[in-house]
Amino acid sequence: MKQDFSEYDFVNTEINDLTNFKIDRLCNSIMVTNIGTTICFVNNFPLHPGVPGTNNGEAFIMGGNQDEIYRGQLQIRFTGNTGAAMVTQKFFRRKDC
């Protein structure tokens, strides 16, 4: 049965240690940005830090088409087990909620 998902919102979460990140059940797309000074790994994909004096390093983005919902998990880890990443989720809100 097709859902009517036309409204959406964004949530930012900062991560500072090894985690299996819980994704919102209505998540349509997700972006992980390395905001630290060490290499961040997202599902074993490396994201390098930004150049000195900047806040943002490389980013990992998974997007979905309209009405698609991501069902999965992200494993986030850092070299030396310390670092910082910003996880941004776009998730749908049903019109009847």
* Contact of 57 with 43, CB cutoff 8 Å: no
Band the pLDDT of 59: cuts 50, 70, 90. very high
Domains of the chain in start order, with CATH, are 11-93 (2.60.120)
Residue 96 carries which side chain, given as an amino acid letter? D
Would you state the pLDDT for residue 10?
85
The token pair that represents 31 in the structure block: 């972006």
Nearest to 74, CA basis, from 66, 83, 65, 86: 86
The token pair that represents 48 in the structure block: 């390098």
pTM score over 0.85: no
Q: What is the pLDDT of residues 71-80, one digit of tens each?
A: 778 899 998 8
